[in-house]
């Protein structure tokens, strides 16, 4: 794809992307909001961004990333780019690895939907958690840094960074179960016995309320940028599902890939943990608990069941958007096929945690 200036380019051809008028309005907005901005800009659609379309903006001074809400009717509370912007803006001064933010625009008249700008952090985005082509030492170092970074996030004092009101009061698991059960059913899914059993069982066995931390909500390797020359995290991305909540929920969402069904891209069922350098799930769990000093109030399989259910509910929403013609990439069209296997493994985890048929 080639591009020229914001005044004469047709930047992309996909539904919801920029035409030359939208690019011109964006350029004007940037000049008003960013004191040292130097145009013109060129715009390129980036891969990923299943929920919120994501673009690279190149300018004379720096490269940016733009995240926008998709067009059309949206489920309430979905695509919360303003929350992404708020939490990254708050975390940046603490030294936690997030991109620098440059501005948030909630006015849809600029490009057709709300958006924000952040810096383009240079580095590697890895999609396969098995980390092919790396040495065992590199894999172990990357996994250790992921765990340590998550523990560091959970140690941040929310009051000191201005995020005391970032989440609702009350039991995090109860809130999350209510939210995703409601969104799952609002997506008009085909009947799935496992999902219905999970909703009932999880609601009856919720862990007690704990002190809340900032939780990322979607912490996995393809939502972070690794430094190009070191096995360390340069930036954590995609904060759309972030809130205040139980840090163990955030941890066990990360651990979920060790129990994901074989068809999932993140599944670890083929990993030789001894030879690869990748820690086992228990090793990752033990490292986090040792660093954080936290304990589990339920068997780890309870939390795995909860997070697999949550992911299945999220994917059901993605499938519903795809059915309405609002898919942002080809993977969204396959979301429906993933719901059933995730729900099945979630119920298997529930049985291990004490659920009864």
Is 283 a residue whose pLDDT tops 90?
A: yes
Q: Which two tokens stand for residue 246?
A: 């139980």
pLDDT at 77: 54
Nearest to 316 by CA among 194, 216, 215: 194
Is 71 a residue whose pLDDT tops 90?
A: no
Nearest to 89 by CA among 102, 77, 70, 76: 102
Over residues 251-277, mean pLDDT = 95
Is 168 a residue whose pLDDT tops 90?
A: no
Read off the pLDDT band of 78 (50, 70, 90): low
Tell me the per-residue pLDDT of 144-167, one tens digit each, with 9 for 90 and over. 999 999 999 999 999 999 999 998
Cβ-contact 14, 107 below 8 angstroms: no
Cβ-contact 87, 163 below 8 angstroms: yes
Read off the pLDDT band of 14 (50, 70, 90): very low
Cβ burial, residue 138 (10 Å; 0-12/13-18/19+):
middle
3-state helix/strand/coil string of 279-335: CCHHHHHHHHHHHHCCCCCCCHHHHHHHHHHHHHHHHHHHHHHHHCCCCCCHHHHHH
Is 329 a residue whose pLDDT tops 70?
A: no
Over residues 305-332, mean pLDDT = 82
Tell me the per-residue pLDDT of 183-227, one tens digit each, with 9 for 90 and over. 999 988 889 999 999 999 999 999 998 989 999 999 999 999 999
pLDDT at 62: 92
Identify the structural domains of the chain with CATH numbers, from first to last: 20-119 (3.30.200.20), 136-352 (3.90.1200.10)
Read off the pLDDT band of 79 (50, 70, 90): low
Nearest to 313 by CA among 169, 150, 170, 194: 194
Q: Look up residue 47 and give its DSSP letter.
A: S
3-class DSSP state of 259: coil
The residue behind tokens 């909001």 is 33
Nearest to 282 by CA among 266, 304, 297: 304
pLDDT at 8: 36
Report the mean per-residue pLDDT for the chain: 89
Of residues 27 and 325, more confidently modeled: 27
Is 307 a residue whose pLDDT tops 70?
A: yes
Beta-bridge mates of residue 45? 55
Of residues 232 and 263, more confidently modeled: 232
Read off the pLDDT band of 250 (50, 70, 90): very high
Distances (CA, A) of 192 to 135, 203, 206, 331, 336: 41, 17, 22, 21, 12
């Amino acid at each position: 794809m080639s591009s020229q200036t914001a005044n004469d380019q047709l930047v992309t051809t996909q539904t919801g992307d920029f035409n030359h008028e939208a690019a011109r309005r964006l350029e004007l907005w940037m000049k008003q909001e960013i004191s040292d901005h130097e145009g013109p800009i060129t715009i390129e659609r980036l891969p990923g961004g299943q929920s919120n379309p994501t673009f690279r903006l190149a300018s004379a001074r720096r490269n940016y990333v733009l995240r926008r809400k998709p067009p059309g009717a949206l489920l309430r509370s979905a695509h919360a780019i303003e929350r992404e912007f708020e939490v990254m803006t708050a975390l940046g001064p603490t030294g936690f690895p997030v991109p620098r933010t440059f501005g948030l625009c909630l006015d849809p008249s600029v490009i057709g939907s709300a958006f924000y700008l952040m810096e383009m952090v240079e580095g590697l985005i890895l999609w396969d958690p098995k980390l092919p082509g790396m040495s065992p030492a590199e894999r172990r170092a990357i996994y250790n840094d992921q765990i340590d970074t998550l523990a560091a996030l959970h140690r941040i004092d929310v009051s000191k960074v201005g995020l005391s009101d970032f989440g609702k009061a009350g039991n995090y698991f109860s809130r999350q179960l209510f939210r995703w059960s409601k969104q799952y059913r609002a997506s008009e899914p085909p009947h799935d016995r496992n999902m219905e059993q999970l909703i009932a069982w999880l609601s009856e066995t919720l862990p007690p309320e704990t002190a809340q931390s900032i939780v990322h909500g979607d912490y996995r390797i393809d939502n972070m940028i690794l430094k190009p020359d070191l096995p360390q995290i340069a930036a954590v991305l995609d904060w759309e599902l972030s809130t205040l909540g139980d840090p163990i929920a955030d941890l066990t969402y990360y651990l979920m890939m060790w129990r994901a069904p074989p068809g999932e891209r993140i599944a670890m069922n083929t990993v030789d943990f001894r030879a690869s350098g990748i820690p086992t799930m228990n090793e990752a769990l033990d490292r986090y608990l040792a660093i954080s000093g936290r304990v589990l109030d339920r068997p780890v399989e309870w939390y795995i069941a909860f997070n697999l259910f949550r992911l299945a509910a999220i994917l059901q929403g993605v499938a519903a958007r795809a059915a309405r013609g609002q898919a942002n990439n080809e993977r969204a069209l396959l979301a429906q096929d993933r719901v059933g296997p995730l729900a099945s493994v979630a119920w298997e985890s529930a049985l291990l945690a004490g659920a009864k048929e």
